[in-house]
Structure 1
Amino acid sequence: MPEISFELPFFTNLLILLVAAKLLGEIFERFQQPSMIGEILAGIILGPSLFNLIHKTEEIKVVSEIGIFLLIIMVGLEININSILKSLKGRNLLISLMAFFLPIISGASIGYWFNQDIMTSLFIGLCVAITALPVSIRILMDLGKINSNIGQKIISVAIFDDVLALTILGILINIKDTDFSVLSIVKAGSISLLKLILFIVVLSLVYFLIKKVLQRGDYIEKSLNKLISLLKGKEPLFALFFAFILLFSTFTETLGLHFIVGAFFGSMLVSEQLVGKENLKTIEKTTSNIAMGFLAPVFFAGIGLEFNLLSVNNIGLLMAVLVISYLSKIIGGYIGGRFAGLNGKTSLTIGIGLNARGIMELVIANIAYNAGLISIEIFSILVIMGILTTLSTPFLLKKAFKHE
């Protein structure tokens, strides 16, 4: 007898999902944990893993995609291009390189060791290598260490890791349709690298043009304020900002890169010097209200809907990914810190501070899964890894700072 599947109307699904996600998110916030953990849990409870009440329909996927878009914009707005350039200077670069490449090589090697295909292994490596900048900022703020020397180094390395991870994501998305022979990968990889270089050249030209104009004073801010005063529609500043970001997203999609690459780098160009302090605050507040109030909870709950604990049959792979995600990131940060001339305790604290994967890792895992590049089992393993590293980092970092 065929199984009868009853599907609730879209807006009913959305209502239940949003209320449950916000409720559990609030509970986790009360215990000083990221709300996204509660939001994912809401999806797990309501989805196929437990009550099987809601499934991730195409409509929910569309809402989730917009949620990803806004989350990435929020991350980009927190990053100043000058901070990236700072992370590339002097010995800071050694920490950034070790904290990224040791985990990505270790993660990819684990995938290869457990007989995963090339693309799956690379995505495991990428998700192990990333550090979630927003989560790192939140943890450091809670610990009162955001402005400390170690806190600034953690943020600087996290910025570098996020930028590099999204750059590599753009390349991987471009080579996904090859037959994965060495020749095909080299050919597709070379083409995607050229596309990426073209995008970076355009981005750099826009950056230097903005910098040149800013040398003449607050010309852009005054022009923007003048334009906004002439427009009669509602929220003209937000509309202009989004048009600017969508322009970059459209450009990266046209090149065959993922739209979040354009959104991320485009939003990094928007600074206080460019649009003015008040305008930037308005943009950040409006983006945050829409994202954190509605779209982000639906996105994280959607991850819970797709998560399937029963799909994880390879317990050895799960344990290996968890162990390597902790060890490679902490050791990578530690070795990088030692190479940079820092003492052992400071280097260890930096390594621990880089261990939270959170938002960025979940976004990349979700993109890979929806593109058919990783299986539901690998996706579920990466979700578990993202949740555990995010939950444990505040406790580990607090202890590390006490011994600092």
Structure 2
Amino acid sequence: MSTGVSGTVLAAGQVLLALAAALGLGCLGRVLARLLRQPPVIGEIVFGLFAGPAVVLVAHRRTGTAPVLPGAVTEALTVVGHAGLALFLVGVAHELRPRTGRLSRRAVVWVTAGTLVPPVASGLLFAWWVRSSGDPGLRTVAAWPAQLLMICVALTVTAVPVLARILVDRGLTATPAGRLAMTAAIVADAAAWILLAITLGFATGSAGGVVTAVWVVAAGLAVSVLARPVLRLDRVARAAARHPWPAAVVIGTVALGMAAGTEHAGLTGVLGAVLAGLAIPGGSRAGGWAVAVGKVVAAGRLLVPVYFVTAGLRVFAGPLPALSWWAVVLATALAITGKVGGGYLGARLGGLPRREGVRIGVLVNTRGLTEIVLLQTGFTAGLLSPALFVALVVMALVTTVLTGPLLSFAGGSAGEGSSRSRLAGEPARPKP
């Protein structure tokens, strides 16, 4: 009996120690990212993902013959990391509602099309290169249509949370460029989540998997749409405002339950969390739910670094994958061309000036957390090889890191030429 108790205490101590180390890495990454004037999530991603190979090298484990951490510890960290990610994605989905306001319909349509169509074309081109390159390290045993869709999704994403933070830091939230970029990013991410579910259906290699994915997404969206009017009722919203902590517990529990449900259906838990977030009223109709969602997101944000650490351990637990520099260079070049070029072209076709077009293209090129989550999901499902996963992670980090410098070069702040264009649907204001 005493041996069993001592073993349980030892295992709990190992889990707590590993958890503290993962949270410490996330904190250190955020501090260094701020010093380098980068979004804090960049530091969390880099320190978390590459903690895996660091542990492998320190432990002299290049052959992958023994676990880096005890299995129970790794499993516990994985559960904690996925729970944190699900809670954080509730807030991401809560923001996935275009707010066009007084923006012109023409500008919104063209910028959104520019944010979606050229990146998909870039993804198709990169997928063709992966298939024709002959590099076995980039191929997987998954069905080719599933890998093709996964690559297209990877080059289509814009990270809404990171973009929102950049807009606030630069004072661009209320400008036409900022609002158009955010609207296009929201539509692109919503499309990416739906495509990801269909891609995971293709990954099963049968038509039944695709049908299941479509039904799960359709049912989840229906539940979200039906639940929102109930949550908007004055009595319900006032109760949430008076008791934010219980409301946050309910939201978190439902999100984790839906994440487990979509995972059980053969898709990904992040989809369930996103669907849960979509059910919560947003904007001016959010009522008392905004505070509760904020508490859920804060808990998720605290635990998200654990997700990156476990993702890194999973990728680098075996022999270190050979990095294909050609894949890195081509993926990065096509990602930048598709997003920056597409955003610029869409803005110009929408009637915006050149500088606004450049600014929008640079903003929608931000990837960050959303990209890493989608890539990790594709890797776990066997749609991305370790080498291709690493190449796309490097692409995501490079494009996000470049956002700040490129935005500065394009005059990307509220006081640097971010005029409010009539063509964006807002009247010009006379100078004082």
* Matched residue, 2:298: 289
**Structural mapping, 1:92-171, within 5 Å:** 92-115=108-131, 116=139, 117-171=144-198
Counterpart residue type for residue 369 of structure 1: F
* Matched residue, 2:4: none
Match status 1:336 vs 2:346? yes
The structure-2 alpha-carbon separation of the partners of 1:18 and 1:291, relative to structure 1 and needing over 3 Å to count, comes to same
CA shift for structure 1 position 389:
1.0
Counterpart residue type for residue 111 of structure 1: A
Cα distance in 1 for partners of 2:387, 2:36 equals 30
* Matched residue, 2:236: 220
Contact in 2 for aligned 1:132/1:356 (Cα 8 Å): yes
**Structural mapping, 1:1-400, within 5 Å:** 9-43=14-48, 46-49=51-54, 51-52=57-58, 57-79=74-96, 81=97, 83=99, 89-115=105-131, 116=139, 117-178=144-205, 184=206, 188-189=209-210, 192-207=213-228, 209-210=229-230, 214=233, 218-224=234-240, 228=243, 235-246=245-256, 248-249=258-259, 252-253=262-263, 256-271=266-281, 276-277=287-288, 279-284=289-294, 286-293=295-302, 295-306=303-314, 310-400=320-410
Contact in 2 for aligned 1:95/1:157 (Cα 8 Å): yes
Contact in 2 for aligned 1:17/1:42 (Cα 8 Å): no
Cα distance in 2 for partners of 1:382, 1:144 equals 30
CA shift for structure 1 position 109:
2.3
CA shift for structure 1 position 194:
4.7
Cα distance in 2 for partners of 1:291, 1:269 equals 18
The structure-2 alpha-carbon separation of the partners of 1:403 and 1:312, relative to structure 1 and needing over 3 Å to count, comes to farther
The SS at the match of 2:410 is helix
Contact in 1 for aligned 2:323/2:391 (Cα 8 Å): no
CA shift for structure 1 position 307:
5.2
Cα distance in 1 for partners of 2:173, 2:405 equals 16
CA shift for structure 1 position 371:
1.9
Contact in 1 for aligned 2:88/2:298 (Cα 8 Å): no
Cα RMSD of the aligned pairs, angstroms, is 3.1
Cα distance in 2 for partners of 1:87, 1:301 equals 41
CA shift for structure 1 position 322:
0.9
C-alpha offsets along residues 85-104 of structure 1, whole Å, 9 cap, x if unaligned? 99995441222122112212
C-alpha offsets along residues 358-397 of structure 1, whole Å, 9 cap, x if unaligned? 0100000111112222111111111111111111101111
Cα distance in 2 for partners of 1:296, 1:40 equals 9
CA shift for structure 1 position 237:
1.9
Contact in 1 for aligned 2:201/2:211 (Cα 8 Å): no
Cα distance in 1 for partners of 2:212, 2:48 equals 39
Q: Which runs of 5+ in 1 are unaligned?
A: 1-6, 179-183, 230-234
The structure-2 alpha-carbon separation of the partners of 1:398 and 1:325, relative to structure 1 and needing over 3 Å to count, comes to same
Cα distance in 2 for partners of 1:88, 1:271 equals 25
CA shift for structure 1 position 45:
5.4
Cα distance in 1 for partners of 2:22, 2:257 equals 31
The SS at the match of 1:238 is helix
The structure-2 alpha-carbon separation of the partners of 1:242 and 1:47, relative to structure 1 and needing over 3 Å to count, comes to closer
CA shift for structure 1 position 325:
0.7
- Which stretch shifts more, 244-253 or 353-362? 244-253
Counterpart residue type for residue 153 of structure 2: L
CA shift for structure 1 position 204:
3.0
Counterpart residue type for residue 9 of structure 1: Q
Contact in 2 for aligned 1:41/1:304 (Cα 8 Å): no
C-alpha offsets along residues 5-39 of structure 1, whole Å, 9 cap, x if unaligned? xx993333222222232123212223321223222
Contact in 1 for aligned 2:359/2:407 (Cα 8 Å): yes
- Which stretch shifts more, 267-276 or 359-368? 267-276
Cα distance in 2 for partners of 1:220, 1:60 equals 35
The structure-2 alpha-carbon separation of the partners of 1:45 and 1:126, relative to structure 1 and needing over 3 Å to count, comes to closer
Q: Which runs of 5+ in 2 are unaligned?
A: 1-10, 60-67, 132-138, 419-432
Counterpart residue type for residue 177 of structure 1: T
The structure-2 alpha-carbon separation of the partners of 1:387 and 1:276, relative to structure 1 and needing over 3 Å to count, comes to same
Counterpart residue type for residue 238 of structure 1: A
Contact in 2 for aligned 1:224/1:275 (Cα 8 Å): no
The structure-2 alpha-carbon separation of the partners of 1:322 and 1:23, relative to structure 1 and needing over 3 Å to count, comes to same
The SS at the match of 2:99 is helix
Cα distance in 2 for partners of 1:192, 1:84 equals 30
Normalised to the residue count of structure 1, the TM-score between the two structures is 0.82
CA shift for structure 1 position 163:
0.6
Normalised to the residue count of structure 2, the TM-score between the two structures is 0.77
C-alpha offsets along residues 141-160 of structure 1, whole Å, 9 cap, x if unaligned? 11111111111111111111
The structure-2 alpha-carbon separation of the partners of 1:244 and 1:19, relative to structure 1 and needing over 3 Å to count, comes to closer
CA shift for structure 1 position 190:
5.1
Cα distance in 2 for partners of 1:142, 1:336 equals 25
Contact in 2 for aligned 1:40/1:302 (Cα 8 Å): no
CA shift for structure 1 position 224:
4.6
CA shift for structure 1 position 124:
2.0
Counterpart residue type for residue 308 of structure 2: F
The structure-2 alpha-carbon separation of the partners of 1:69 and 1:85, relative to structure 1 and needing over 3 Å to count, comes to farther
The structure-2 alpha-carbon separation of the partners of 1:204 and 1:281, relative to structure 1 and needing over 3 Å to count, comes to closer
C-alpha offsets along residues 46-85 of structure 1, whole Å, 9 cap, x if unaligned? 4224644555933322222112212211212333x36389
